């Protein structure tokens, strides 16, 4: 069966520090992968999506970047965090066509 792993679950980072969040999927190949951010009580903001290795589409210009070094690995990074980067980060995958998405447990990031 397919599973998605996202870590860490919670993270507290100082302003200006780097960030690396990792997401891996098991039990499937060539998934479409997505990174979202959710502010408290708000909707899901699509940050990046990838349809294949090395293929990254950015939805929101900001100080975040994403990479897909392997088929089932999706990484969200930042060189210098801002206070406004705080939020709930969610990784998701879709097997074929955006019909049913499966989400990781999420990472609650607090920038202090």
Partner 1 sequence: GQSLEQPSEVTAVEGAIVQINCTYQTSGFYGLSWYQQHDGGAPTFLSYNGLDGLEETGRFSSFLSRSDSYGYLLLQELQMKDSASYFCAPGGSYKLIFGSGTRLLVRP
Q: Which of 66, 76, 90, 109 binds partner 1 (CB under 8 A)?
A: 90
* 70 contacts 60 by C-beta, under 8 angstroms: no
Q: What are the helix and strand counts (H, E) for the chain? A: 0, 11
Give SS3 for 85.
Answer: helix
Q: Which of 2, 15, 42, 62 binds partner 1 (CB under 8 A)?
A: 42
* 106 contacts 89 by C-beta, under 8 angstroms: yes
Should residue 46 be labelled a site residue for partner 1 when binding is judged by CB under 8 A?
yes
Should residue 61 be labelled a site residue for partner 1 when binding is judged by CB under 8 A?
no
Should residue 29 be labelled a site residue for partner 1 when binding is judged by CB under 8 A?
no
Output the smallest distance, CB 27 to partner 1, in A: 16
Q: Which CB atom, from 14 or from 97, has the smaller least distance to partner 1?
A: 97
The tokens for 72 are 């089932």
């Amino acid at each position: 069966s397919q599973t998605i792993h996202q870590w860490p679950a919670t993270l507290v980072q100082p302003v200006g520090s780097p960030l690396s969040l990792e997401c891996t999927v098991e039990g499937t190949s060539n998934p479409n992968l997505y990174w979202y951010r959710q502010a408290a009580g708000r909707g899901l903001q699509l940050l990046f999506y990838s349809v294949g290795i090395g293929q990254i589409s950015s939805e929101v210009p900001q100080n975040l970047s994403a990479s897909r070094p392997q088929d089932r690995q999706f990484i969200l990074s930042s060189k210098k965090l801002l206070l406004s980067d705080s939020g709930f980060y969610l990784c998701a995958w879709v097997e074929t066509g955006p019909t049913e998405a499966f989400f990781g447990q999420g990472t609650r990031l607090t920038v202090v």
